[in-house]
Structure 1
Amino acid sequence: MSEPLNTRPREESHFVHLTPQGVHRVRRWAMAITLGSFLFGFDTGIISGALLFIREDFGLDSFEQSSVVSVLLLGAVVGALASGRIADRYGRRPLLAGLGVLFFLGIVLAAAATGYWMLLLGRIVMGLAVGGVSATVPTYLGEMAPAQVRGRVLSLNQLLISTGLLVSYLVNWAFSGSENWRGMFWIGGIPSALLVLACLWLPESPVWSLTHGKTDQARRTLDKVTEPGGTDLVVARFGRTGREGGQRREEPGSGSGNLKALLAPAVRPALLVGVILAALQQFSGINTILYYAPTIMGQAGLSASNAIFYSVFIGVINVIITVVALNLVDRLGRRPLLLFSLAAMAVSIALLGVAFAVGLPPVLMLIFMMLYIIGFGVGLGPVFWVLLGELFPPAQRAEGSSAGATVNWLSNFVVSLVFLPLISAIGEGPTFWIFAVICVLGVGFVARFVPETRSRHADEVGADLRRRWNAPTA
């Protein structure tokens, strides 16, 4: 992590060149920040096993079961939408601490639920926290990481989401014998408390501090990690970026980003790329493939009677391929991984549609499904979150990440809502072919409109975006 991956000038990263101790500090900060990502994965995954036993205890009908699952998505939309303004006004660290408290409260409500409505309230509170961290963590990581390894650090977000999902599946598996669904939820209280405690130790983002005129606070953080003289270079570079990008200096507490700023001609290309990639990640069909996983495994003769066990299998694959992406994102860049990912997803999901349409052997269905998951995990899955932390100018980063995360959750909800009716109307094969067409369109969009952000500053990324979209400089 300490070795630069290129020979760009010293001013290239937020922290310029880090001391060996600074490298270790940044790593520790990143791992603490991504406790929020772990909870994102854990809280979205834990319901899959718990619901098997909740429905019996509470006598839930099919609508109530669906609402317990999907209400988290609606809560996440609200949480993602609100987090940008809160992060800009009060800072990244206080917001992350507050989200840790929300996670804990949601888990307590769900674990202690005496009926359907209390459980539903707990899931809504969890959703607010999940949406909040989905927008805040990429922003915080993007502002704390040196540019040479920023992609690797930002990819920790997806890695910890995948790890949280895997741990939730393992917890479900461990408690399934006793049918103790309350215990499944209570386990989530541990990382929630750790997140709150970690925020007492984490520093505030230097970018937020500089944007709000807290230069001394930013210098104290930077001095902990940079070589002598590095802090002065970072502060000077930040001032230059602000002048070149036409950014307005905000008074402390006023909030540096807002909808009007995001829609400004110079920033609008970043917003368009962020929200289109957010929708593309969901409308490419990933959640529908995961929905079909147990069915396809059963058809392949792999004994799908234990759905929780096969969820663990899928979770392991997701973590492994995310680790691969973690090691490639700063070597190959964002664009090559996105292009390869979308092309691989288009081919594999089209073949899966053929398998359903013509009745190919179940083992081929399983192979096509796994290839699709690998394609998603190596590119579109983690790289979207990486770009969300890199596309926007510093003054609009929190609001931009909030907008992208909000569209991502809304798209997730829409796909979940229309998938089964679409299957009933046109069949599995044509439905998967629609997703394949969306992936092909995604290849064209990335090739034309998405810039490479690897080892580049916000001003360089902004200039490339404006060139691709023929947008004015200011």
Structure 2
Amino acid sequence: MTLQDSPRPPAPSHTLPPPSGEERPKRLALATGVVALGGLLFGFDTGVISGALLFLKEDFALTSFQEGTVISALLLGAAAGALGSGRPADRFGRKRVLIAVALTFTLGLVAAVLAHDFASMVGARMVLGLAVGGASTVVPLYLAEIAPPRLRGRLVTANQVLLTVGILVSYLVNLGFAGSADWRAMFAVGLIPSVVMLIGTLCIPESPEWLRGRSDDRPSGRTAKASRALPLDRPAVRRALLIGVTLAAVQQFGGINSIIYYAPSIMSRAGLPATNSIEYSVFIGVVNVLMTVAAIPLIDRLGRRPLLLFSLSGMGVSLVTLGVAMSFPTGSPANAIALVSMIVYVGSFAVGLGPVFWIMAAELFPPGARARGGALCALVNWAANFVVGQLFLPVADAVGVSLVFWFFAAVTSGALFFVVRKVPETRNRSLAEIQQDLEA
């Protein structure tokens, strides 16, 4: 009997038995809901610090440098978590890494609630960053692997929706506890979804794609080993890396986080009272959520490429307009255009580049390099996020805000050309079919 003719070994005991036709949609929905909580915690933990920092800086007597360190600690931890989650996900399975991510979220939030000084808060934020980075890699990967081709875009977008919901929830929590200045309670709210995710991940099945790859590599009569790792210099993997890494960098160097961070100032210049930056953040969070939800039916109906082209076009036009509007004096009627431009920008990002990058990072790589490839894309995304976050204000002070926005517009214009030339359409195609296209 040849290896191809040998019977496939049974699934390991830690996976659930194959569901019936009626049970399958329920199991799929349960697994999606549980795992996508990682996206919600991703958004919550990155957003909650914006309100908590207003009060914990007084308790810990933080300098402006220390404030920046508290914020950037999560970004550095996320880069490490993204890079370090790929190989374990390939070797030990997606489920075990997701359990570790949920446990790390819980430990990080407990550490933040109990933090008593600057050093302990930085440590807590680093731990949360490890969880955020791991979630940004493995959650979209798992969702892409359990989904049928016709639903893959929607399921992975569910993660992005919950990410934006997590940001919005963090802003609402900040607003709710702002009156009492209870920053510990702000972090404590995040323990609810983290504990639910931890319990839920114990009950979900392993990724069938990971199990299939492991079974295909298993010689008859031998002990099972992890799925064979593919070298990253294979042509298909190189093409996938080129696309994934470029979209990862564009997502950040296109200015999304800088635009959101600068939103209160832009609204103030548009003539609105800048008395409560948290309320402005809530407004931006609502726009972000609504447009990401709008992307759900479009991802699999229109396809990835059309949404990317529409998204980058809208971002580029709104950034140019925003730069022009910001060059006028404060209080000028033109500054009302800045507010509209910012809303168009956030909506354009949320309906296309925001979710599509994470989908394609999970779709493009072959099984033996999927987790490592997705981890590298997430690493570039977090590293670019850190660079932009650190340099935006100093560069804006040096050359002017308008020039910075025009630089972001140039990045999105270059990305538009890149998508036309290099990015394939993956809608309604199996993961195997996508690999055949990239190998061709």
One fold, TM greater than 0.5? yes
CA distance in 1, matches of 2:157, 2:132: 17
CA distance in 1, matches of 2:413, 2:22: 44
Pair 392,248 (structure 1): closer, same or farther in 2 beyond 3 Å: farther
Of 26-35 and 57-66, the range deviating more from structure 2: 26-35
**Counterpart in 2 of 1:192?**
194
| 2:277 aligned partner, one-letter code | A
Native 8 Å contact 1:261 1:396 kept in 2: yes
CA distance in 1, matches of 2:135, 2:367: 18
**Counterpart in 1 of 2:287?**
317
CA distance in 2, matches of 1:378, 1:196: 30
Deviations 1:423-459 (A, max 9, x none): 1221111111111011010011001100001111223
Deviations 1:65-101 (A, max 9, x none): 0000011000000000010101111111111111111
2:255 to 259, 262, 285: 285
**Counterpart in 1 of 2:307?**
337
Pair 114,246 (structure 1): closer, same or farther in 2 beyond 3 Å: closer
**Counterpart in 2 of 1:263?**
233
CA distance in 1, matches of 2:325, 2:20: 52
Deviations 1:216-247 (A, max 9, x none): xxxxxxxxxxxxxxxxxxxxxxxxxxxxx999
1:82 to 78, 81, 84: 84
CA-CA distance at 1:19 after TM superposition: 2.9
1:126 and 2:128 are equivalent in the alignment: yes
**Counterpart in 2 of 1:390?**
363
**Counterpart in 2 of 1:372?**
345
CA-CA distance at 1:21 after TM superposition: 3.0
**Counterpart in 2 of 1:348?**
318
CA distance in 2, matches of 1:405, 1:108: 25
**Counterpart in 2 of 1:35?**
37
CA distance in 1, matches of 2:265, 2:133: 29
CA-CA distance at 1:143 after TM superposition: 0.5
Question: Sequence identity of aligned pairs in percent?
Answer: 50
**Counterpart in 2 of 1:440?**
413
CA distance in 2, matches of 1:208, 1:330: 23
Native 8 Å contact 1:247 1:395 kept in 2: no
Pair 466,424 (structure 1): closer, same or farther in 2 beyond 3 Å: farther
Q: Please give the residue correspondences for 1:41-440 in structure 2 after superposition, counting only pairs within 5 Å.
A: 41-213=43-215, 254-256=225-227, 261-359=231-329, 361-440=334-413
Deviations 1:265-307 (A, max 9, x none): 2321011111111111111011111011011112223222111
TM-score, normalised to structure 2's length?
0.91
Deviations 1:393-420 (A, max 9, x none): 1222111111111111011011112212
Deviations 1:181-200 (A, max 9, x none): 00001111111111110011
CA distance in 2, matches of 1:254, 1:348: 51
Pair 18,296 (structure 1): closer, same or farther in 2 beyond 3 Å: farther
**Counterpart in 2 of 1:463?**
436
Pair 253,275 (structure 1): closer, same or farther in 2 beyond 3 Å: farther
CA distance in 2, matches of 1:177, 1:95: 38
Deviations 1:340-385 (A, max 9, x none): 1001100000110111124462211100111100110110001111
CA distance in 1, matches of 2:423, 2:308: 10
Native 8 Å contact 1:450 1:465 kept in 2: no
| 1:195 aligned partner, one-letter code | M
Pair 252,402 (structure 1): closer, same or farther in 2 beyond 3 Å: farther
CA-CA distance at 1:108 after TM superposition: 1.1
| 2:309 aligned partner, one-letter code | L
SS in structure 1 of the partner of residue 245 of structure 2? helix
Pair 59,138 (structure 1): closer, same or farther in 2 beyond 3 Å: same
Pair 364,95 (structure 1): closer, same or farther in 2 beyond 3 Å: same
Question: Which runs of 5 or more residues in structure 1 are unaligned?
Answer: 1-16, 214-244, 468-474
CA distance in 2, matches of 1:284, 1:252: 48
Of 455-464 and 266-275, the range deviating more from structure 2: 455-464
| 1:126 aligned partner, one-letter code | L
Question: Which runs of 5 or more residues in structure 2 are unaligned?
Answer: 1-18
CA distance in 2, matches of 1:124, 1:345: 32
Native 8 Å contact 1:211 1:256 kept in 2: yes
CA-CA distance at 1:253 after TM superposition: 7.0
CA-CA distance at 1:462 after TM superposition: 2.4
CA-CA distance at 1:168 after TM superposition: 0.6
SS in structure 1 of the partner of residue 206 of structure 2? coil
Count of equivalent residues: 418
